[in-house]
Amino acid sequence: MARVVVRYFAAARAAAGVDEETVDADTVRECLSMIEGNRGPGLQRVIRVCSLLLDGVQVRDLDRRLSGTVELDVLPPFAGG
Amino acid sequence: MSAQPVLHAELVDYEINLLEIVGRVSSSESGAIATFTGLVRELDHGRRVTELEYVAHDSATRVIGEVAHDIAAKHSEVMALAIVHRTGTLRIGDVAVVVAASAAHRAAALGACAEAVEAVKTLLPVWKRQVFDDGTDEWVNSP
């Protein structure tokens, strides 16, 4: 079990209604299902198109076991320029 | 062996000065400087925009440097490349991004400039929120 600090950005922050929250989860997949349950379908819709960074590194395996305290950044599609 | 290109890449929260950036990439060796200026546009899909807010992820400063480095490495004739992106709240007509590339000849400068603009659009972790004249807003590219 890990303590996951979830940080929301841009549209994900607007949909979540908070800047960040902390959940206890074993995997990123479990963490996502918890925060979607907490925050509702608006966030679910945005998360589907987001990229995820775990401690700054792109998440490839949603089912990898997590431990300790980790930071999960939820990044909507970029729109610079 | 060619000299290392001069690179300048940053996010700023103040007005971008195109001529200052042109000056940064200019040298006695450069015969061509290509620039791109991205502006805040009033109409988006027929809706009137009143302001635009750009926000950046913590990693954006690192990424914009990597983009400049990679484009310059790919275009070996480029002598200097500058990429500057603004953050914060912007009004119609404000400059959101400037790219400037210098080289001995125009083809290299134009090619590197165009490619850097595309790379900024796809790789830079920056988001924009459009505020419309009816008071509603939206995050661009997000559902």
ipTM value: 0.91
Helices (H), chain B: 18-25, 60-74, 106-123
- The residue of chain A with its CA nearest to that of B85 is A81
B143: its two tokens: 């559902």
Q: What is the pLDDT of residues B111-142, one digit of tens each?
A: 999 999 999 999 999 999 999 999 999 999 99
Question: pTM of the prediction?
Answer: 0.93
Distance CA B12, CA A70 (A): 29
What is the pLDDT at residue A63? 97
Token pair 């559902």: residue: B143
Interface probe, candidates B49, B83, B98, B127, chain A, greatest A C-beta count within 10 A:
B127
Contact flag B140-A79 (C-beta cutoff 8 Å): yes
Q: What is the pLDDT of residues A35-81, one digit of tens each?
A: 999 998 999 999 999 999 999 999 999 999 999 999 999 999 999 99
Q: What is the pLDDT of residues B37-86, one digit of tens each?
A: 999 999 998 999 999 999 999 999 999 999 999 999 999 999 999 999 99
